[in-house]
Amino acid sequence: MTAVAPEEIRFHHGSLVVPTGAVHTTPLGYDRDNVPIGAPLPLAPSVELIHRLSGCRETIVAFEGKLGDTLLALSGVRAVLDWLRLRSVRAAVRAVGPYAGLIARTGLITQPQTTTPSGRQAVIGDRAGVEAHDSEATASLVLDPAAPPCWSSDGRAHPDLPARHHLALERRLGIRLPGAPPFAPTLMTGPNELVEELRSVGWLGGLAIAAITATSWPERKDYTAQRYTALAEHIAEVHQTQARLLLIGGNPADGPRITAEAPRRHVEILRLDGVPAASLVDLLPHCHLVVGNDTGLTHLAAMARGENGSSPPVVGLYARHSHSKWRTGLPHHHAVATGLSNRMHQGDLCPVRDAIPPDTAIHMDAFPPAALAQVCLELLKGARAR
């Protein structure tokens, strides 16, 4: 870890392996690297769950809650679908709800469904999604972000939520599943009218920086357009170029809105408010850098892959929550975190779940734009060197 400024603020690279002894973990119970794919685990599986899943002829993927929780839980969906394939259980799979289109982009659901199958159903998703289909389901799996612990195996901890969900289900289903860290699926991208329009007027040329301002908790998680602008100015000045800053905002009352602001000395600014996530998936890989708070669109940026398979460095800002748990685990998804965030990481704690009183002194202003720029400049240098 490299100190930023002040002393309590730390940078955590996305490819950093966390050793077991550095954080509070729960032993996985087996040496995963030495168990062949498809082999039984040396643990008792959930017999009832396996019995119910084995008899289902359809699997419904249903998420209704927060975007970030949904994206970080998709590794759990992959685990169930991998188990069905290993067990040769023939079941149709369909995604429903507001995130069905995004889930389709992961490639987890490979065959489009044209008819509604008859027979027993399994439903997997968040609590709201599962409850919406509970009356129809023979088997239900709720992927609750508060449930799986930080697992440890083979000398390393697995703190990110995609790893937690995947390994928790591997244990319950009782066989070694395919896959290795990072467990988060990625989102496929393609041609998009918004991308072509922005490219045609020069917004994706030169140094393009995307900054996530959207959040469900602005008083705690909004880094603010002013700080992002200062960050972009620092980066542009070092590169001796004009940066193009895309400020990605939430949903305004009157629908999607795209507006340009008066240019600064080194930065041109475009606000994109209320742009659907499906369009942002196609847009964000065209940027050179993405910076955002701990929110769903930042996770989306990390999981989105360009048509050539590449992704820009993504930097998440963590003031209160664990910087390791609320990340995708992908090597280009980094974190800048306060001391409190690092203590949440070390102890596997959550301010909400564990009712830890808020520290009113810790807000997003803990990250000075000039210091954050130094981190971003190093990441940009590394991205260009590859």
pLDDT per position as a tens digit, 59-71:
999 999 999 999 9
- Residues 171-192 have pLDDT tens digits of 999 999 999 999 999 999 989 9
Residue closest to 163 by CA, chosen among 297, 36, 329 = 329
Q: What pLDDT, on a 0 to 100 scale, did the predictor assign at position 247?
A: 97
The terminus-to-terminus CA distance of the chain in angstroms comes to 21
Task: Measure Cα distances from 183 to 93, 220, 291, 294 in Å.
Answer: 20, 29, 22, 19
Q: What pLDDT, on a 0 to 100 scale, did the predictor assign at position 134?
A: 80
Residue closest to 201 by CA, chosen among 193, 190, 213 = 193
Residue closest to 321 by CA, chosen among 290, 291, 364 = 364
Tokens 């188990």 belong to 83
Q: What pLDDT, on a 0 to 100 scale, did the predictor assign at position 308?
A: 86
Tokens of 89: 């259980």
Distance between CA atoms of 330 and 298, rounded to whole angstroms?
12
Task: Measure Cα distances from 245 to 254, 333, 373, 376 in Å.
Answer: 23, 19, 14, 14
Low-confidence ranges of the chain (pLDDT < 70): 1-7, 110-118, 216-219, 253, 359-361, 384-386
Q: What pLDDT, on a 0 to 100 scale, did the predictor assign at position 214?
A: 82
Distance between CA atoms of 261 and 275, rounded to whole angstroms?
17
* Stated pTM of the model: 0.94
Q: What pLDDT, on a 0 to 100 scale, did the predictor assign at position 215?
A: 76
Helix pair angle (47-54, 67-86), 10° resolution: 80
Q: Which domains occur in the chain, in start order?
A: 2-14+188-385 (3.40.50.2000), 31-173 (no CATH)
Residue closest to 198 by CA, chosen among 282, 274, 255 = 282
Tokens of 6: 């002040």
Distance between CA atoms of 68 and 82, rounded to whole angstroms?
23
Could you tell me where the DSSP H helices lie in 217-347?
218-221, 225-239, 277-283, 296-303, 339-347
Q: What pLDDT, on a 0 to 100 scale, did the predictor assign at position 110?
A: 67
